[in-house]
Chain A
C-alpha cells in the first residue's frame, strides 16, 4: 500500500456536555417544561431555546400536507419474525408492545399527499416505534413509496429518524440497505427527485442507505447524523470527541447536508423545492 495515510486530523469544538435523563416534555437544553398541547402548537420546538423535540410521524404528516390530502398506503405491511429472535425478550413481544404504545404498524408511514397543492409521495419515519429501526417491513414500505411516486410521477419526500437496522431481523435487516438503495435508483431512473429531511437521529443503516441519496438533503437543527454514534466511536477509538460530533451543524460544515432548516420554516422550504423540481410554471 502507499505511504500516504488517510488524514485523521479532526476538527475539535468545545468539551462535551454531560448527558442527563429528562422528562420527554422537558427541554434537554434549557430545562423548560411544556404540556403536550403547548408543544403541539409550537411544532414540538422549545419556545425558549429552539430545541427540536422528536415529532411523531402522524403529527408531521398533518402539518406538512394540505388538510385531508393524505392517503396512507401499505397499512397492512407488518414485521415478521423470521429468525424467531429472542434476546432478553422475544422480538414478537417487542413488536406487539411498540404497536400498542405508538398506534403505528411500523417505524415508517407512507402515502400520497399534497403540500401547498404540489402532489408528493411521503415516507415519514417514526423514532418512537422501536427506535425507528429498519427491518424488512420498513424497507418494503419505503420501497413501495418509491414505486407509488414513480406510478404517479411525483417527487418522494422522506423524513428519516432511525437508530439503524433492526438487529432482531439479522442479516435481512442489513439487506434493507441495498433494497432501499435499489428503490431510490428506480425512482431516479424515472427522473423523479428524492428530498430528504434528516431528523434526530439519522444514523447507521438508514444513513448508509436511502437517507444519503437525496437530491436535496436538509437537516433539522441539532439532529445527530452519524453512521456510528458518539458513544461507540468513543469506546472503540478512545478519541476525544468534538462537542458537536455528528450533529447537523457539523454535517453542514463538512458538506454532507445542503441546509439546516428549522421546523417552522420547513413547509415553505419544501414548497419552494417542489416548485423548483416541477421545472416549468403550471
Chain B
C-alpha cells in the first residue's frame, strides 16, 4: 500500500472520528488530536530500515518488561501465581493492583533479565498453563468488575513437546474466548514483541494500544523468512514485507492508538516510558468508563469481527 493510500486511510479514520456521537467530547477530541500527530509521523518514516529498527528495539535486552512497568505504575501489587491445575508459568504473570485510583487485573508476558531468569521464564514464551492462569485472572476481573490491563511481550507461545501435550492451541483459543465474553473494560498494550497467537491470546481487548517501537506480527521475521524465503537470514526482508511496526498496525486498524516512548526508545529511560504508558492506559480506561458492560462486549466483538481486508 502506498504512503498516499495510508494517509488517505488515516484521514478517513480521522474524519470518521469527528462525526462520532460525542459521548465524551473531550476524549474524542483527544483521540483525533493523537491520530493527527500520528499522521504527521507517518509522513516521516515507514521505510524498511525504520521497520527493522522497531524489530530491534522491541527485542532490546534493556527494554522494560511487564514487571518493570508494574513496579512503576501499579500500586498495592499482589501477584497471583499458578493455574490451579498444574503449574505456575513464569512467562506470564497475573495479579491485582491499583491504577489511577482503581483496582485492576494485570495480565502480562514476562521475559527475564539475566540468563537464569530468562530460562526460568522461558524467554517470555508461555505454556498452556500461563494462558489458563490468565483465564483465571479474567474470571476474577469479571466477578468483581475490575478492568483488565494486558501487557503483551512475547516472541510467541512456547513451541515444545510438553506444551503441545498440555494443549497449547486450545489454551490460546479459550483465552481469547474468555476475553470475548468479559463485560468489564479491557485494555491491552503491546510493549515489546507481539508474537502471534501467544500475543493475541491476551489482547482481545476493547482498546489495543501499541508502544511506538513495539512490533505485532503473525510470525517472527525469522520464522517467516525460513518458510517463505527458505532462509532465516532473510528476516529483514520478511519484516519489510509483513510490516509489524506500530504505524502499519495502526493504519490497518489492528491497534487503536500508539503510545509514545522516550526519545531513542523505552530501553533508555524506564521511568519516562512508564509515565507515558500509564497516561495511555488511564486515558483508554477513562474512555470505556461509562459504557455498560453488555455494550462493551458487543462493541468489542463487532470490532474484532470487522477485522480483515478482502475483496
* Interface residues of A, Cβ cutoff 8 Å to B: 1-2, 4-11, 77-80, 82-88, 135-137, 139-140, 143, 165, 167-179, 181-186, 203-205, 207-213, 225-228, 232-233, 236-237, 239, 241-242, 245-246, 250, 254-256
Are the C-beta atoms of B308 and A139 separated by less than 8 Å? Answer: yes
Q: How far is the CA of A171 from the CA of B251 in the complex (A)?
A: 11
In the assembled complex, the Cα of A169 lies from the Cα of B301 at a distance in Å of: 21
Q: Are B87 and A5 in contact (CB under 8 A)?
A: yes
- A211-B173, A233-B159 in contact; A176/B308 too (CB < 8 A)? yes
Additional pairs, 13, CB under 8 Å, beyond known A82-B252, A83-B1, A179-B308: A8-B161, A78-B310, A135-B310, A136-B307, A168-B228, A169-B309, A174-B196, A175-B254, A207-B169, A208-B169, A209-B173, A227-B172, A254-B167
Q: Which interface residue of B167, B179, B181, B196 has the most chain A CB atoms within 10 A?
A: B196
Answer whether A1 and B305 are a contact pair too, CB < 8 Å, given A177-B200, A181-B173: no
Question: Nearest A residue to B227 by beta-carbon distance?
Answer: A167
Interchain CB contact (< 8 A) of B304 among A173, A182, A203: A182
| B206 interface residue per 8 A CB criterion | no
CB pair B173 A207 closer than 8 Å: yes
Q: Which residues of A lie under 8 Å from residue B227 when comparing CB positions?
A: 167
When distances are taken between beta carbons in the complex, the residues of chain A under 8 Å from B300 are 182
Bound CA–CA A84/B196 (angstroms): 20
Would A174 and B167 be within 8 Å (CB), given that A1-B90, A167-B227, A208-B173 are in contact? no
**Does B267 count as interface, using CB distance less than 8 angstroms?**
no
- Asked whether B243 is an interface residue with its Cβ less than 8 Å from the other chain, the reply is yes
Kindly list chain B residues whose C-beta atoms are within 8 Å of the C-beta of A212: 169-170, 172-174
- Chain A residue nearest to B255 (CB atoms) is A171
A184 to B305, alpha carbons, bound, how many Å? 10
Residues of B within 8 A of A236 (CB): 159-160
Interface pair A178/B86, CB less than 8 Å apart: no
B131 CB to closest chain A CB (Å) equals 10
Distance in Å from the Cβ of A201 to the closest Cβ of chain B? 12
Which of B161, B170, B307 lies at the interface centre, i.e. has the most chain A CB atoms within 10 A of its CB? B161
Which of B37-45, B142-150, B213-221 lies on the face that meets chain A? B213-221
Q: How far is the CA of A232 from the CA of B227 in the complex (A)?
A: 11
Q: Min CB distance, A248 to chain B, in Å? A: 13
Complex A-B, nearest 6 residue pairs according to Cβ-Cβ distance, in ascending order? A136-B308, A207-B169, A212-B173, A228-B159, A170-B242, A227-B169
Contact A178 B200 (CB under 8 A): yes
Q: Which residues of A contact B8 (CB under 8 A)?
A: none
Q: How far is the CA of A242 from the CA of B165 in the complex (A)?
A: 11
Residues from 229 to 283 in B contacting A, C-beta threshold 8 Å: 229, 238, 241-244, 248-249, 252, 254
Q: Which residues of chain B come closer than 8 Å to A167, judged between CB atoms?
A: 218-219, 224, 227-228, 242
B31 at the interface (CB under 8 A from A): no
Q: Taking the nearest CB of chain A, how far is it from the CB of B199, in angstroms?
A: 8
B168 touches A87 (CB 8 A): no
For the complex, is B65 an interface residue (Cβ under 8 Å from A)? no
B129 close to A171 (CB less than 8 A):
no
Question: Is B121 interfacial (CB 8 A cutoff)?
Answer: yes
Q: Is B34 an interface residue (CB 8 A)?
A: no
- 26 residue pairs of the A-B complex, CB under 8 angstroms, read A5-B87, A6-B86, A7-B86, A78-B311, A83-B241, A87-B238, A88-B228, A88-B229, A139-B307, A169-B308, A171-B254, A174-B197, A178-B179, A178-B180, A179-B304, A203-B169, A207-B170, A208-B168, A211-B173, A227-B159, A227-B197, A228-B157, A228-B159, A228-B163, A233-B159, A255-B167
Find chain B residues with CB under 8 A from A177 CB: 172-173, 176, 197, 200
Cβ–Cβ contact A205 & B167, under 8 A: no
Complex contact A80–B176 (CB within 8 A): no
Residues of A within 8 Å of B196, CB to CB, are 165, 174, 205
Residue contact B180 to A181, C-beta cutoff 8 Å: yes
Of the candidates A87, A168, A211, A226, the one whose C-beta lies within 8 Å of that of B164 is A226
Chain B contacts for A9, CB-based, 8 A: 162
Give the contacting residue for A239; candidates B127, B160, B197, B229; CB below 8 A: B160
- B174 surroundings in chain A (CB, below 8 A): 212-213
Instruction: Tell me if B185 counts as interface (CB < 8 A to partner A).
Output: no
Q: Does B60 contact A (CB under 8 A)?
A: no
CB distance from A158 to the nearest CB of B (A): 13
User: Is B304 in contact with A77, judged by CB distance below 8 angstroms?
Assistant: no
Q: How far is the CB of A235 from chain B (nearest CB, A)?
A: 9
Given known contacts A6-B86, A167-B242, A207-B169, is B162 in contact with A1 (CB within 8 Å)? no
How far, in whole Å, are A136 and B300 apart by their CA atoms in the complex?
18
